[in-house]
Every structure is written in structure tokens, then in C-alpha cells.
Structure 1
């Protein structure tokens, strides 16, 4: 697939961006903080309904605006679909598909498909479990949009169950046993929903991981042939976790979760927290016999992070999905061997969007059409703008750069 048109309105530093896109490579060049990453972030949000940079929507809405809008025209296998997502401050977000309002945000999932590699991906190896869970969940959503519905409902149920536990815990500390009992009367119902939804999430993640593991291992060998072998294992956080091969049946997983919820109930009440469920799980990344987190060198960490994204790309392409490849300011961080390996993969992708602070950091064969992104205006009116597009020549030509002010675009 590829994007033919992209529109941003009050998204971060862009009051308005309207641009046509083509298959092949498009490069956005500009200083750090001038807004080039915001373009790729917007496409990623259209793909997964999540930002790779922030956990909430408010930072993506331009200061002073009430709504940020992202829209794209996606061409996929001879079909064209228009998708639009509005992030609204203080009220529910909304989505449109081919100009028709969607009942659920998840209805737009699968229209825009992308794989993004950014410097933040080092957190996949070095960071907290939530980073690795998100990797699996976002990939699952692109392959099976219904997974997004399970995640959204699980998050809602988890929030309500946690509030119930917190209320009961506070009542017990204040010596109000009757109030605590009343709060806990519905806990069995919430346990059932946590186990049911959680079992589908865990089964989906583990099934995905089994397909992803060999692709990541192969990609890592290509990036770091002299390093130890890379592997991935799902950590199902229960007292006596079954073998991973057993965790493919949602019914079996649901029974395990219900047992663990019963075992940990008093702990949860005492602490006022939900301690059981897929929100506590992790993916263990290993190099040889050691965990990558804490033992991998800087180069090995970059290789593992890149291998995770290349494996994701390979898995989607094996499904017949040709995602847009988004490369956010990564070439400056890679050595020559890793640059070349990434460029070789990128050249075989239908559409690639690249950002760079310095155009020459991008390998020569991967520069395509170049857009220069600049920051213009003063004070509260400071905003991103873009020069006219041109084929990349490798030579800076500031005298010919004609800046299109995004606020003056039709």
C-alpha cells in the first residue's frame, strides 16, 4: 500500500499541512524540533491509534486549538480509501472513513498500515515491559483489527476494577468494613471480564510471537553476524506459568487467570491494585543465555531494536500487507553496516518516508524526493512549514528554497 495524500490540521507544530505523496522514497530534512517527526507520528497514529512518543493525546493538539485532525488517502491493492481521525480536547475523539462517521475509532484500523523505526525504539530493549507489550499489540492490531477492540475494552474494565479495589482498600484502612464489602460485591463479575478479555489478548500475543521470533532472529543475524543469537520469550506473570506451547487456547488461559485472580485477591485488596492480567506481562529479549536488557552493548541494542522492526515488517509482508515504512531520524545513529542493511530492506518497500537532520546521513540510494522542513513565525505563532518538493540531488541549494508557509496553504 501507499499514501497518496496527507492532511494535518493543528497537529503539533503544523497549523495546516496538505501534501501529495507517491510510491518510492520521500525524505524530510530539517533541524531537530522543526516538525519533521510530527509528520511520521501522525501516520503512525492513523495506523495504530497510538503515538510512539506520548501516552496521551493532548501533546498532539496544537497549543491554542481544541482539535487536531489527521487525514490520509490510502491506495491498497487497487482500492482507495480516505481515513480521518480527530483528537478532541476534553471530549471523545472521532473518526471518519470515506467521509462517513465511524461508530468506533477502531473501524479505521487496517486502512493505513505502517512500520515505524525511531530512536525511541531503544526502549524496546532497555525500557519497561509496557514498551514490549505495545510492540506486540500494535502489530496484532494491524494484522487483526479486532484485537484493538479487546485492548480497549480490557483497559476500560481494568480501570473500573482497579477503582473498585482502591475504594475497598481505603474503606478497610478507615475501619469501614461494611463499605468495603459493598464495594467488593461485584468483584467476581470484574474478575470474569478480566480473565475473558485477558485470555484473548495473551493468546493473540503468544501466537504472534511464535511467528515473529524466527524473523527477528534472522534479521538480527544479518545486522550483527558476530554477536550472539537473539530470541524472544513471553513472560506470563502467574505463580506457576504453563509452558508457552500450552498458552494458545484462550479457554485454558482464562482458567489460569481466574485461578491466579483468586490466589492474589487479598493482595489486590490490601494494595488497592489489579495485580493479575496481561497488563503485567513482559517479553523477555535474550542474546545467547543473557537478557538483552542490562547485558547488550550499545551496538547490540541498536541491532536488536532494528531487528524487531524488520521482523515486524517481514511478518506483515508475509501476510500480503505492504506497509508504509517510516524511518525517523535513525541513519545518523547507525554505523555503516547497519545503515546499509536497513537501506537494502527499505529499497524493496513500496513506500518509504524518511526524516533526517542532515540529508547526507541518508544513504544515497534512499533519498528520493526531498522536502525541507523549517520552523517559521514568532512566539505563539511559531509553526512548521515546508519548502517545495524536488528530487534529491545531494547538494544544498538554499537560494532556490521557496518556503511554503503552512498557514497560507489553501
Structure 2
């Protein structure tokens, strides 16, 4: 898979930019702050409808504008698809496929697949669980776009249920109508949450062996990396016997029953706190090197290797999901090599060099390993030129 033409209108720092990319290695060179990352961020947005840098779309619009447009020509296997996403301030984003009538933006999910390596990836290991949940959810939705609707529905249910819990917080007794409404939200939470959790667990089982192998390749196999799903059902004591091995074997119906039982048996606790305490929105991934948690204990180099291993594992999962020639995901390495020591830099470069398309950003050409030499672009404020 590769993108041959990328066009940006009022996206980030670009009033207008048109970039012709090629299969293989594409290197964007320029000092920090000139807009290199904006280019690869736009490609990532075509894939995930989200940015790896910000949590909302507002900063993606060029200052003073109310609308940004990303267009790309996507080559996948033997098919070429023209995509367009319109990001509008305060309105629902729209998309076009092959210049047809506008559709909901999420209709384009799954057409482009990217795996992005960036300095922000350290958050996968060091930061709070929301980063790890996003990693898993983004991969799930890219593999099965219909689950984007499941994720959005679940987030809406949690928001509405929390609003109800806050409205009755502190009351010694709630009315029968409030109780009935809460029970209705319980059922929706359990059904949608179980589907999301089952999807995550399926993806994690695909990732696990590749995480182990990728970490060994990057770090000489000195320690064995492992990743397990941590459910709020066991973390909050709702089902303390629910260890990760048992959890991975449960059906969607069984997970639904566990979530429903947890919220029903902890009704008083949730009302007292005004929060939904159980469900995939409070789950996490446990990352270990040997028997030691990676978070808080891994060295800087080990942390980088683990983060890179997670991304490389996602790349392998994509390849298994669509093994047709020319269908592998686009690899994006955003200012990563300046952060790595020489050994990890060379190992990563050789691992990814054979991808259908690789986009690299770097401040100077010397930051790019020789294994990744290809088409070069010079980036200056608001402009991208072939070298």
C-alpha cells in the first residue's frame, strides 16, 4: 500500500500543499517546527480519523480558518482509491470516496492502513492507560472498521450513564424512574462494552507473539517482553478471580454477564462516586519485561524498544490480515531516529526497509540510516519541495 499524491488545504501550517510520494522510502528533511510532522499526521488522519499529537480536531485547522481538507490517492493491491476528508470546526466531518457524494467520515476507515512510530510512543509505556487503550482501539478499528461504531456507541453510553450517576450522587434513595433508567443504561453498557472488550482481546491475541519477537530483534533478547489485558472487573474487585488467561477465553456473552453483574452489585459505590467504574473504558494493558513491569522500571532504551515492538507487532498483524501483494500498511517514522542509539536505529531501519512505503521525517539527512535512503523532500514553512 502507498499514497502517490497528498494534498492539504488549510491543514495545520499549510494553506496549500501538494506532495507527490513514491513507493519505497520517502524522507522529509527540515528543521524542527517547519511542518514535517504535519505531512505525516495528515496521512495518519486518513487512516484513523484522529491525530497522534492532539486529542481533538481543533488544532488541525490552520489558524483563522474553519475548514481543512486532506486528499490522498491510495494504492492498495491493484486498486487506486481517491480519498478526501473535510475537517470542519464545530461540525461533523465529511469524506468523499472517489469523488462521490459526501459520506460520514468514518466510512473511509480501513481503506488506508498506517503504522506510525513517533516520540509520543513512549507514552504507550510510561503514561496512563488511555494511551494503551487508544493503541488497541485504533488497531481494532483499522482491522474491522465496523467496530468504530461500537467504540463511539460505548463512549456515548458511558457519558450518559455518568451524567445520570452524578445527578443522583449523594442521595440516600433514588426514585423508581431513575432506577429504571439506570438499569436500561446498565444493559446497554454491558452489551456494547462486551463487544468492544471481545474485539480488543481478539486483537491482543494476534499481537502477543509479534511483540515478543519484535522486542527480541530490537534488544538482543536480553529480556522477554509480554503484554496482557487488565480488566477493571478484576482491578476493582468485581471479579477478583478473573486473571488475564481466563479473560481471553471468555465469549462476548460471558463478558456481558460479568459487566452487568459488576455494575449491579456495585450500584451504591458507583452512585457515591458518580462514575461508571466497570467496563473497557477503565481497562489497561500490563506490559512486562521478564517478571518486572515496564512502566517505572524499564530503562530509557528498554522503553523505546518496547514501544517500537508494539508498533512493529501491529505492522505484522496488518500483514496477516491482508496478505495480498501491495496491501501492507504504510510505515511512518516521525523523528524517531534522533531518539535512538546507533544499534536500535540500525535494527529498526533494516526491519522496516522492505515495506511498500516508508515515510521518514528528520532534521538533517545524517539522522536517516543508510538502509532508508530514498526520495528526499525539503520542508520549509508552508512548503514541501523535491530534492
Cα distance in 1 for partners of 2:335, 2:61 equals 22
> Is 1:55 equivalent to 2:55 in the alignment?
yes
- Give me the whole-angstrom Cα distance separating, in 1, the residues matched to 2:246 and 2:195: 14
Task: Give the deviation of 1:17 after TM superposition.
Answer: 1.1
CA deviation string 1:35-81 (max 9, x = no partner): 10011111111111111111111011111100111111101111111
Instruction: Return 137-146 or 276-285, whichever deviates more.
Output: 137-146
Residue pair 1:29, 1:36 contacting (<8 A) in 2 also? yes
Note the C-alpha offset of 1:103. Answer: 4.1
Residues 1:97 and 2:92 are matched in the alignment: no
The 1-side partners of 2:176 and 2:28 are apart by: 59
Which SS does the other structure have where 1:284 is aligned? strand
Q: Does structure 1 retain, via aligned residues, the 8 Å contact 2:47–2:110?
A: yes
Equivalent in 263, 288, 291 of residue 289 of structure 1 = 291
Contiguous gaps of at least 5 residues in structure 1: 376-383, 391-410
Structure 1 SS opposite 2:266: helix
Preserved contact between residue 40 and residue 353 of structure 1 (Cα < 8 Å): yes
Tell me if 1:86 matches 2:81. Answer: no
Q: Which position in structure 2 is the counterpart of 1:379? A: none
Equivalent residues in 2 for 1:147-296, closer than 5 Å: 147-169=147-169, 172=171, 182-225=177-220, 227-238=222-233, 239=237, 240=239, 241-247=241-247, 248-296=250-298
Structure 1 length-normalised TM = 0.88
Question: Where in structure 2 are the equivalents of 1:4-403 lying within 5 Å?
Answer: 4-169=4-169, 172=171, 182-225=177-220, 227-238=222-233, 239=237, 240=239, 241-247=241-247, 248-319=250-321, 320=323, 321-375=327-381, 384-387=382-385, 389-390=386-387
> Aligned equivalents of 2:32 and 2:303: distance in 1?
23
Distance 1:265 1:11 in 2: 46
Query: Are the aligned partners of 2:194 and 2:252 in contact in 1 as well (CA < 8 Å)?
Result: yes
Give the whole-Å Cα distance in 1 for the aligned partners of 2:265 and 2:277.
Answer: 11
Cα separation, partners in 2 of 1:269 and 1:181, compared to 1, 3 Å: farther
| CA 1:356–1:209: 2 relative to 1, 3 Å | same
| 1:24 CA displacement | 0.8
Q: Is the 8 A contact 1:67 1:89 kept in 2?
A: yes
Which is worse superposed, 197-206 or 116-125?
A: 197-206
Distance 1:77 1:359, change over 3 A: same
Checking the alignment, whether the CA contact within 8 Å between 2:22 and 2:375 is kept in structure 1 is: no
Q: Is the 8 A contact 1:124 1:131 kept in 2?
A: yes
Matched position secondary structure for 1:169: coil
- Deviation for aligned residue 1:10: 0.9
Contact residue 115 and residue 312 of structure 1 kept, 8 A: yes
Tell me the secondary structure at the aligned position of residue 372 of structure 1: strand
Residue aligned with 1:310, SS: helix
Distance across 1 between alignment mates of 2:373 and 2:76: 23
- Cα contact 2:29–2:363 (8 A) shared by 1: yes
Q: How far apart, in 2, do the equivalents of 1:229 and 1:10 lie?
A: 45
* Matched residue SS, 1:234: strand
Structure 1 residue 244, shift from structure 2 partner? 3.3
Name which one, 1 or 2, has greater alpha-carbon Rg: 1
When the two chains are superposed, the root-mean-square deviation of aligned CA atoms in Å is 1.6
From the superposition, tell whether residues 242 and 42 of structure 1 become closer, same or farther in structure 2 (CA, over 3 Å).
same
Q: Is the 8 A contact 1:196 1:254 kept in 2?
A: yes
CA separation of 1:78 and 1:271: change in aligned 2, threshold 3 A? same
What is the CA distance between 1:342 and its match in structure 2?
1.0
SS at structure 2 position matched to 1:275? coil
